[in-house]
Amino acid sequence: MASFDGDTVAWFTSTRTFTSQAGKFAVSNLEGNLACSVTGGTATSVNANGKDIDVDSAAVLGDASFNHVGEVVYTDVPDANTFQLVGGTGAWGLLKDVVANPLYYGAVGTQKYYYAATWQYTFTYTFVGEQTNMNLYFNVSAATKEYYKADGSAHGEEALNTAQGFRLGFCSTYDSTSHKRIVWAPFRQQGTWDHDGDAETAQVKSIRYVNGTTAGSDMNDYTADGTGTLLDSAAAIDLGDGSAAKAATLDNCLGVFTKPVAPASNTVQIEVRMTAWFEGTDASIVTSAQTLFQQVSATLPFTVRKAA
């Protein structure tokens, strides 16, 4: 439908993009066909603007390992060659809030320590004139990220080494029972690297996660086991313009908005559960003898395209 004024034709347009900043650690509720509600979780809250994720200023993430299949977190057991399910019976190091929040380790002074941070996006697509399903994507090509030390000082090698272990997990549910799982490693670099002037061997290209309690044998590779998709710092996936149909098989697809048949409602939802953590099994991380208060941030753009 168009409005006419002389030779001018103004077409109505629909919004099919959504951008989220997971800040210092933005999402906009845009008018149009794609909308999103944001819910805070462990160590996070929703900014007053209703779209951005704020991380508790006193929160610090320790090292952990997120299992995207079961959506559970593991930690290592000090002085033992084993892992422990966070929140499980007899879990090491857990303090008073095990039942209320198993991802909370405890407070030391003014700092509150967590194994991971969580939040959730609920995307709602309203079908109007579309005759096909619509796919939801994490637009990794447009995503931005930043790493720095807590005091705001310039980037240094130590800060980057720690940042390479930062992960963001996207676990979605759509069509009631279908799931997509993506892990983004925004700072991890492939190939060789140099620490303190000493040449190192080639970095292991696989990225692993813990899936059991036995160190060594209970670690899986994201791409080898086929349970999830890994996107690293070099990931770039062209989604084209808004008219370009794209397949659900793309690595950054988070699910399908299935067009209702003779619908009572023309709205469909996809739930995306987010987890942020520093991966303790990543061999690329170089740790120092003292605590390194590392901060990272990431802008998370989401977009919808017609299903190919």
Each residue of 81-132: pLDDT tens digit? Answer: 778 878 655 444 443 344 456 787 777 788 888 888 999 999 999 988 777 8
The model's pLDDT over 125-156, given as tens digits with 9 standing for 90+, comes to 998 877 789 999 999 988 888 877 656 665 66
The region of weakest confidence among 35-49, 171-185, 207-221 is 207-221
Q: Is residue 137 part of a domain?
A: yes
> Is-contact 214 80, C-beta < 8 A?
no
pLDDT at 46: 92
- What global pTM score does this model have? 0.81
Q: Is residue 7 part of a domain?
A: no
In percent, the amount of the chain with pLDDT more than 90 equals 20
Q: Is residue 6 part of a domain?
A: no
The more confident residue out of 13 and 124 is 124
Q: Is residue 110 part of a domain?
A: yes
The model's pLDDT over 25-61, given as tens digits with 9 standing for 90+, comes to 433 333 348 889 999 998 899 999 888 898 888 888 8
Q: Phi and psi at residue 254, in whole multiples of 5°?
A: -105, 0
* CA torsion angle 196 202 205 207 (round to 10): -40
pLDDT at 74: 87
Average pLDDT over residues 62-67: 86
Q: Is residue 2 part of a domain?
A: no
Average pLDDT over residues 8-23: 60
Contacts of 54 (CB under 8 A, 6+ apart): 23, 24, 40, 44, 45, 46, 47
pLDDT at 287: 57
The more confident residue out of 164 and 272 is 272
**Bridge partners, 198 (sequence order):** 195
> Is-contact 239 305, C-beta < 8 A?
yes
Q: Is residue 78 part of a domain?
A: yes
The model's pLDDT over 239-257, given as tens digits with 9 standing for 90+, comes to 888 778 899 999 899 999 9
Q: Which residue is listed with tokens 């989604």?
A: 239
**Distance, CA of 187 to CA of 167 (rounded, Å):** 9
Range of the domain at 213: 15-306
Which among 104, 10, 123, 92 is positioned nearest to 58, based on CA atoms? 104
Tally the domains of the chain: 1
Q: Is residue 8 part of a domain?
A: no
- The 10 Å CB-count burial string (b at 16+, else e) for 178-188 is ebbbbbbbbbb
Collapsed DSSP state (helix, strand, coil) of residue 161: helix
Q: Is residue 103 part of a domain?
A: yes
